[in-house]
Amino acid sequence: MSSNGPLTGEFFMNGDIACAEGGISAGCRFFAGYPITPATEVAERMAERLPEIGGTFIQMEDEIASMAAILGGSWGGAKSMTSTSGPGFSLMMENLGLGAMLETPCVLVNVQRAGPSTGLPTAPQQGDMMQARWGSHGLYPMIALAPCSPQEIFDLTIKAFNLSEKYRTPVLVMADESVGHMSEKVVIPPPEEIELVSRKKPTAPPGEYIPYKPDDDLVPPMGLTGEGYYFHVTGLTHDERGYPDMSADAQERLIRRLINKIELNKNDIIEVEEDQIEGADVVVCSYGISARVALLAIKSAREEGIKVGMLRLVTVWPFPDQRIREVATKIKAFVVPELNNGQIALEVERCAGGAAETVLVGHMGGAVHDPQVILEAIRKAAK
């Protein structure tokens, strides 16, 4: 193991550890968290590795404080990260909304487990997907990525940091227990081969810096504490100086910009993986571990002569509305396997707009789908 920087090479590791290493390779040097199954190994790895490379790990008293700490760490100039699971994710919601309002780059990893409440702490579910988008109150943008393997959670943690830094917003990595605890080969490239993005710094001198004045891309440069810049940071609706402005006009300007800086850049943010979509009668649309389990069902269906494609959501939020609408006009049905009773399936149905049927293959969690159940849904949808 390297003691002075990111690892490089081929490793056999579980998804949680790969996630931590992805954060380190992305430049994360501050981690604040609280232990919770099945995400604890992310924090454990960070507790071991960050002191070796000049970073800081701190175990907070709870998840509320953990989310607050990484916001502060980011304003201090560090690429910052936390990890949690269902109950802790709920506790982080208020400060996640604060991060969106303050336009604070940071990464929150949710290794989902079966709920509600304590549920099955060591078993998978994908029950937090709508909470990821709408869990905090009010109007705010959200970016959420869904890995399906240890390699991909490494890669997507880096991507999460890059998107967070580019758009000045918290980014979520929505993993699940199966991906977090699955052990596979993970290839970690040399640092010089990893493309990294850093937040824009102000070009104006401190006396002329306007903290929330956006550039043409709607993202303001970010001054940091200790660099001579003066700014006021508040969760209240604020003007471009950062000072509270309690008017409807200020609310319209600020929130519209927060939403548009993501919505107008969806083509840059959204990533989907497609396989044999053209000519398909049925398309399996899924994400995370459920998409991976569906591969056997798709293979079996093709062997039976069914024309079935795959559309895997790597980015779940913002949702790929336009692509779903395009595909819906060319197929009979979407089959949506997910470890819940229908969350993303409702988004697929909304976007399909009746042009294609949407078939939910729900599962309450505790284990992954039986591929045979997905295969049967594909057969019925193809008739």
Q: What is the pLDDT of residues 361-379, one digit of tens each?
A: 999 999 999 999 999 999 9
Q: 9-14 and 28-33: which strand pairing?
A: unpaired
Q: Which two tokens stand for residue 13?
A: 């590791």
Tell me if 340 sits within 8 A of 129, measured CB to CB: yes
- For the chain, the structural domain boundaries read 9-193, 272-382
Tell me if 233 sits within 8 A of 225, measured CB to CB: no
Q: 9-14 and 183-188: which strand pairing?
A: antiparallel
pLDDT for the residue 3? 53
**C-alpha Rg value of the chain to the nearest Å:** 21
pLDDT for the residue 1? 45
3-state secondary structure (DSSP) of residue 42: helix
Whether the predicted pLDDT of 2 surpasses 70: no
Q: What is the pLDDT of residues 316-361, one digit of tens each?
A: 999 999 999 999 999 999 999 999 999 999 999 999 999 999 999 9
Whether the predicted pLDDT of 294 surpasses 60: yes
pLDDT for the residue 226? 85
Q: What is the pLDDT of residues 77-95, one digit of tens each?
A: 999 999 999 999 999 999 9
Region 1-29: what's the mean pLDDT? 91
pLDDT for the residue 230? 85
Give, in words, the CATH class of 272-382: alpha beta
Q: What is the pLDDT of residues 105-163, one digit of tens each?
A: 999 999 999 999 999 999 999 999 999 999 999 999 999 999 999 999 999 999 999 99
Band of the pLDDT at 308, cuts 50, 70, 90? very high
- What's the chain's average pLDDT? 97
Q: Which CATH number fits domain 9-193: 3.30.2090.10, 3.40.50.970, 3.10.450.40, 3.30.70.1230?
A: 3.40.50.970
- Percent with pLDDT over 90 in the chain: 96
Q: What is the pLDDT of residues 47-62, one digit of tens each?
A: 999 999 999 999 999 9
Looking at the chain, list the stretches that DSSP marks H as alpha helix, in order from N- to C-terminal side. 15-25, 40-49, 63-75, 86-102, 129-134, 150-167, 177-181, 248-263, 266-269, 288-303, 321-328, 344-352, 371-382
- 9-193 matches 272-382 in fold: yes
Whether the predicted pLDDT of 72 surpasses 90: yes
Tell me if 203 sits within 8 A of 140, measured CB to CB: no
**Over the range 164-187, which residues count as b (16 or more CB within 10 Å of their CB) and which as e?**
bbbbbbbbbbbbbbbbbbbeeebe
